[in-house]
Structure 1
């Protein structure tokens, strides 16, 4: 059953109460019709002026961003190592950069309507060079907590993890960290990056050697090294490029991380812009079009 509010019954007023009520109504009507005092008018005018000022005040922008500096300068300073294909590679003869992240940096610059100013760095000097000279750093850079203490990272481009690559006939010999962490196993890696950090941490008993990243896989092909533990994305590309080399555990990497671009720490305006651009590139076919020539269309990054 639905309940209803109890109806209120009007109460008859006594003659005195009726007079008081009538008087009160008359006073209220007079007050409503009487002109406002000068003080009331001034107060009302001040309030209106304040409201008008609040509505007309321009929006206060955040503190200046690196984004503003890039737009004012007309150039985007991009740090990259140039030694980590398929993400970044420098042709020493022509001075031209190629790679997935190189093309992505150019696309970002196109959206900003600015020129790219390339700053070559190394994995050993990446952070120092970035902080001193660059607006963004690209080229297969992994997100980790040590780097995150000094920079912001963009939204991630891909998930990744460390996994071995070796000569195809030796795949079963290097499926585990325990197999690789052996004095008789030579692990090769470039100096200064996360590959060296991973090897030092997980293969303390192994034979660890460093080599330049552009010809490092030739060392494995030639038998100068046994195995390299590197990012799954690089392993898949190398296995695509070298008939002699095979990925060991590409779908079961030893760890997990993401790849992204380095940005100025604390600059939320710059990060917001880059993240919005990345969202579009990852969903409108731009990123897929850039990566396809390097991996083919059958590799799931």
Structure 2
């Protein structure tokens, strides 16, 4: 047997390992739950409820009332309530790879806490505002208008937490010496963060390019964010695939009869 043939045997043997016995199975389960969540999220917000693309801040009051009393909103909110639990899984995929980076844990903690705050403001608040408006008929039009404003401003205008978390993610990629994710993704992430800053005027302008449905505050953000979301998960996929098994937390099996560290303390 020559050296070349011998060197290829471990790789060939590794490829024959059943996927159910892979030490990365837990990571892959988390990873593949993410596109399921985002597809469900898109269905709820677009064809089911038509909450997105966002309706105009200056919509006539009768149109606002008709939208807020739609039965589809209740169905959308019921589905989103069930799907909401998958949001932390998507963030865990980021955090697992950030743990491998040669950067201070503060970056990882910033992303984690920012994602928690962002999910509350950017997902739960709109969910309850739109769902509450449709839950019971007979609300005064002024109350429905307030819930309409509250829901959209929370969804489009919740900036600070997302600014912090994506800046931490982008900087972590750029400062990482282990090259877990490509450097160009760090620069792209910084540009994605800039779109959050552009959305700040939604609290001031009720129409035009800087309204919550405007060219700058919504459509520019979508133009940058949607491709970024696809690209980042392709990069995460490659990072999981290429991660050495000896880096995995579950890589070291405990020897029979040996107590785990800290037992009896």
Normalised TM-score (structure 2): 0.25
Pick the structure with more helix per residue. Answer: 2
Larger Rg: 1
Normalised TM-score (structure 1): 0.23
Pick the structure with more strand per residue. Answer: 1
